[in-house]
Amino acid sequence: MATLEKAVVKGLAEDRGLYMPEKINKLPQAFFDHIDGLSFREIARNVADAFFGDDVEGEALRKIVYDTLAFDVPVHKIDENIYSLELFHGPTLAFKDVGARFMARLLQYFVVPASAEDGKAAPINVLVATSGDTGSAVANGFLGVDGINVYVLYPKGKVSKIQESQFTTLGKNITAIEVDGVFDDCQALVKNAFMDEELNAHMRLTSANSINVARFLPQAFYYFNAYARLKQCGVLKIADGKSNMVMCTPSGNFGNITAGLFGMRMGLPIKRFIAANNANDIFYKYLQTGKYEPKPSKQTLANAMDVGDPSNFARILDLYNGSWEDIKADISGATYTDDDIRDTMRECYNRTGYVLDPHGACGYRALRGQLQPGEVGVFCETAHPAKFKEKVDAIIGADIEIPERLAAFMRGTKQSIPMSKDFAEFKSFLMSR
């Protein structure tokens, strides 16, 4: 057992396991009856209270939610029965802005820095591994926050130049570490750091990856919002506590879809989920065989999903008491090659004029292939396509506009520290801080 404060500050449990809520509170039916009349912030406030209300004072929680959601996550109709949930309207143009901003504010609420012997505050050190958008969302969520230092570990040459610019140009309390390896190597360095007693005695460590409950749980907010907006449009059919809404989530480390599954347990009447993978098909194969067989990640066009051993699979197993049959009943899978992704982006743009990013393309294609008659599908468009401008332009034959807040990052100067994937080197670096 751990308090919410401990789970947020520690990130990873002492036994290397992931924290899970002791119970998942159901939201009252009246909330769902009137959800279409609520704003995104009001919806999130209700969901946050069910998750965190026992541990966070009410007015403080409202302020955390409202400060986090200084932007909308609109639903955009693409086909007659398929909608895009646009999660790229935050500061770094990626879905992880929601979780990262919420966590930064919740951590501030909990952490009153302990005074060291010299009277100075002992800072919290946030370690985060990124395969793309997590690093920029976390770095910008924590930028300039007193008493918190952030170390972003990313695989050399395996994130887009635009993504890289969003966390290597900030300076201040943000340090970028360029690891000679793949995302899984970065994640292993972070996990090993948490398990190292000497390092933890030297400095206060926490994580901002989706292994942290304060990062992944707030991502449930936008599933509720998607439901509310579709209900507002009058396209949903609801019977016996279930709707005809199918949610498709492009999935890498599986924090995003896990948050949606929590939402379902809270009473959100989603009919079923689809987990859309790129060529890293570990979860897809698990659904086919019942065997979970992690492997080294493959580099793909949808790089933020290049994960060969998704951490949050353990949470899905726990949520379903290890039942493969029950997991399959709620979640189906899909896996796509880079050529599949390119074809989907091109076809969607030529037919509808809508520009998909490579990750959203996986979600859109999965809905096109798996949606049944009478169902309405929503997929997560997880990042603005301009974050992958060179690739997207080449695929669809267009010159997509770069939003000014993204262009501003690109004008910055790169500041990063090269690092091998050897933990001893990483530990030595942190011990010197």
pLDDT tens readout for residues 190-242: 989 989 999 999 999 988 877 889 999 999 999 999 999 999 999 999 988 78
Q: Is the pLDDT confidence value at 114 over 50?
A: no
Give the pLDDT confidence score for residue 117 in this predicted structure.
47
Residue 230 lies in a domain: yes
| Number of domains the chain contains | 1
Contacts of 396-405 with CB under 8 Å at 24 or more apart are 396/345, 396/346, 396/349, 396/350, 396/355, 397/346, 398/349, 398/355, 400/355, 403/93, 405/91, 405/93
Would 425 be classed as within a structural domain?
no
Which of 101-110, 205-214, 351-360 has the weakest average pLDDT? 205-214
Write down the pTM of the prediction. Answer: 0.88
Q: What is the pLDDT of residue 292?
A: 97
DSSP calls for 130-199: -SSHHHHHHHHHHTT-TTEEEEEEEETT-S-HHHHHHHHS--TTEEEEEESS-HHHHHHHHHHHHH-HHH
User: Cα–Cα distances in Å, from 254 out to 46, 305, 399?
Assistant: 24, 9, 32
Q: Has residue 199 been placed in a domain?
A: no
Phi, psi torsion values for 99, nearest 5 degrees: -65, -40
Per-residue pLDDT averaged across 335-347, rounded?
Answer: 98
pLDDT of residue 113: 47
Taking 50 as the threshold, does the pLDDT of residue 115 lie above it? no
Cβ atoms of 370 and 313 closer than 8 Å:
no
Q: Is residue 353 part of a domain?
A: yes
39 domain-assigned:
no
Answer whether residue 48 is part of any domain: no
- Residue 55 confidence (pLDDT): 94
Residue 248 lies in a domain: yes
Candidate from 5-14, 159-168, 174-183 with smallest mean pLDDT: 5-14
Instruction: Kindly tell me if the per-residue pLDDT of 132 is higher than 90.
Output: no
Is the predicted pLDDT of residue 303 greater than 70, yes or no?
yes
114 in a domain, yes or no?
no
Locus of tokens 């609520």: 38
Q: Which domain holds residue 238?
A: 58-93+216-401
CATH number of 225's domain: 3.40.50.1100
Range 266-274 average pLDDT: 97
